[in-house]
Amino acid sequence: MEGALAPQVTERWSADALSRVAAGEELREWFPRTPRSSFASLDPNDPATWKWTRATLTGRRRANLANEAPRAWEAICALMGGEHRVRTREITDYLILSFPSQRIPTWTSRIRKLLLEKSPWSPMNFHLDDPDTKMGLDGWTNALLMVVLFSDITPRGGGTLLACDSPALVARRLAEGEVDFTTNDELKTIVRRCSDFQEVEGKAGDMLLLHPFLLHSATKNHGDCVRILANPMIESRTPLHFATGTRVLSPVEEITQSWLR
């Protein structure tokens, strides 16, 4: 959804993101793992001081989706079967920053080569959000994964890599019985069966709604600017009916069950 988030939110939250990183107080994780005090050397206006590849900020401010992203909110309610089923009604400035990294080879050739050769390892960290060691089709309250762009993302600019044909494969694997998606073994098997890989691109303020079974991975930022995005999970008030034979109450449940027929 292009320009779905109100510009005043996008601009306000992105404007001070690098300053928040430099302050170091709101950092949740970062790589390389240097002492927190080392961020004092970061100058938001001097790329030569951007010595990290990734940094994640904890959320402190909130934006109501119905007020600040009404088109996205309408879509969320429609996909989940009504506003009464939606628990998550706000997003926060829990932001993920990816710094330019010109020294690392492009992900495109590497991932395609590894998938074609069926390599036993992959440099890409494909995953589901909030995985567990014993996952099935029952008990899911994670209804949608949202990606919110707080900076423009050009090709090879650090946009999230989506395995677009993975949700159906994940659903079928979950239907077979409990599976541990906290390790890479099961995920690698599914990723090797995928063929539709798309890199997220867009403008600041764009928003994406993704199926919770969609495998995705961070990528290296080969652009010139810091990539900033958020990926909050949209939760349901009650468990979703993903298993076949259960009552369908929403489009996200309907399409999930259709993959199992």
> For residue 131, which amino acid is it?
P
| CA angle in degrees (0–180, nearest 5) for 222-39-223 | 10
Q: Please report the DSSP string for 121-144 in residue order.
A: --SS--B-SS--SSB-STT--EEE
Burial 10-25 (b: 16+ CB within 10 A, else e): beebbeebbebbbebe
In the chain, the domains with their CATH numbers are: 7-258 (2.60.120)
Does the pLDDT of residue 251 top 90, yes or no? yes
| CA angle in degrees (0–180, nearest 5) for 174-231-145 | 35
Task: Report CA-CA distances (Å) from 145 to 15, 79, 141, 162.
Answer: 24, 12, 11, 12
Q: Residues 98-128: pLDDT tens digits?
A: 999 854 444 455 554 554 444 333 435 899 9
Residue 185: which pLDDT band, with cuts at 50, 70 and 90?
confident
31, HSE (Cβ side, Cα atoms, 13 Å):
9
Q: Residues 10-57: pLDDT tens digits?
A: 999 999 999 999 999 999 999 999 999 999 999 999 999 999 999 999
Task: Count Cβ atoms within 10 A of the Cβ of residue 56 and give its class: 0-12 exposed, 13-18 middle, 19 or more buried.
Answer: middle
